[in-house]
Amino acid sequence: MIFETAQKTYEPPARVSGILLHPTSLPSPYGIGDLGNEAYKFVDFLEKAGQHLWQVLPLTPTGFGDSPYQSLSAFAGQPLLISPGHLLELGLLEPCDLENCPCENPVFTDYDSIIPWKTAVLKKAYENYRHTSDKMLLEEYDSFYENNQFWLDDYALFMACKELHDGAGWTQWEPEYRNPTPEFRVKLKADLKEKLYYFKFIQFIFFKEWYALKEYANKKNVKIIGDIPIFVSMDSADVWANQHLFQLDSKGFPTSVAGVPPDYFSETGQLWGNPLYNWKAHKKDGYKWWISRIRNQLDLLDYLRIDHFRGFEAYWAVPYGETTAINGKWRPGPKEDLFLAIEHALGSNLPIIAEDLGIITPEVERLRNQFGFPGMKVLQFAFEAENESSFLPHQFTTTNCVCYTGTHDNDTTRGWYDSANERSRDKVRRYMNTDGGTVNMDFIRTCLGTIAAYAVFPLQDLLGIGTEGRMNTPGTAAGNWSWRYEKDSLTDKLAETLLQISRLYGRY
């Protein structure tokens, strides 16, 4: 089947499916999921189960609240995902260096205890690296630095300055640090030379591990779907090093911040607080920063989901200092101008997925369709509406979309069903011809059976886990991003069950 968009003709990909699981949710004896052996075992499970997609959340280093959507860099990798086991294999650690790991709960990550422990482990590995005689490792680092210097220098300097200020946000630093002159920057690099090398080394190890894992997955015919938020964190290397690209005042504070307006779900809207882009400045330099960001991510990933895609058409700007999102205004985004520039630099038919949930206008749909980006359909939303919903499978009008049972922001399907009102539960039972006893598998089966080219479901739904497995509750600052699955959960029987269902619906 071939379908038309406003400007181009696209042929849908083969019907494929996969699992949403952030690497922090993998089992590990070191307190948090990482890119070690269990990540490879998960890829093996996907292969056995006939799944060809592994969707992850942003892989960038987390800041406040441990959220991957509030990152210290849009380019760097998350140090917490580095495998201590791999560092042992590289000869950068001894077994005694991994003692006293705070990993008592196998299904929960305690960030408050694991961050200081793992940071100490990484610093020990760096000390040993400084005295290594492994020429191949040294040559690999040099190659990595040469290919990533365009973002790595700013990131390392930002992190070193942040450490110098006991972790305080950069707007709280002294003026000379907030906006360093070229001369002061040279002095900082000299004074902080060892710290800079440490942060660059950690990024080298992360990228080394990630590329190896991605290569393994691709050889198993598993492709990686990554994720980025449209906006970046205020306390990030990106904003600090590129202040002219954001709507900031002379002292570096935002003049307006990101959010979404009041709607059916929230009388006061959502106030995210991210700084907004100065799109005129981005356009003036040919969208260089955005092109670099997309190139960087597509080098790490096979597909890239962009969160809050509608912000490229128009974004909700809230004056800085407001306590709610009520008093914001819609302002025009870069629209197709940005993506035409990205296509010119990186080629057409970009493997981008548009998160097109929320307040979506015909203009947003046209922008999405102009470039052939798949949109999203979330089945849980289909049963929250009393009447018809565009998320109901019989309302899908194109194969060029990704169908989800739920996302990282939703409750698990089991948890959602258990807490839903009776009207929604009754609608599920009638629509799926089920008694609700195995509602998680009913949702997965329905998701796989849609016309959507891509079908994705969280691992929690495959395992039938309730609300205790929820990854994130929007609007809450604590207790998120912590769930992990137990080591023996992914059985051959489960893989065979999923394989047969996927084959039944032509997803192989």
Where in the sequence numbering do the catalytic residues fall?
307, 355, 409
The amino acid at 71? S
DSSP letter at 70?
Answer: S
Write out the H or E segment, with its range, that includes residue 494: helix 492-504
Angle at 297 between CA 291 and CA 302, to 5 degrees: 120
Q: What are phi and psi of 314, to 5 degrees?
A: -160, 145
Maximum Cα–Cα distance across the chain: 70
Pairing of strands 303-307, 223-229: parallel
Main-chain dihedrals φ then ψ at residue 420, nearest 5 degrees? -70, 160
Residue 129 is classified by DSSP as: H
Place of tokens 């996927």: 502
Q: Cα(494)–Cα(164) distance, rounded to whole angstroms?
A: 49
Residue 483 in tokens: 């769930």
Query: CA 34, CA 342: separation in Å to the nearest integer?
Result: 32
Query: Can you tell me the distance from the alpha carbon of 124 to that of 129, in angstroms, rounded to the nearest whole number?
Result: 9
Rg of the chain on CA atoms, in Å? 23
Q: Residue 490 gets which letter from DSSP? A: S
Q: Are 453 and 16 in contact (CB under 8 A)?
A: yes
SS (HEC) of 296-330:
HHHHHCCEEEEECHHHHCEEEEEECCCCCCCCCEE
What is the number of other CB atoms lying within 10 angstroms of the CB of residue 52? 23
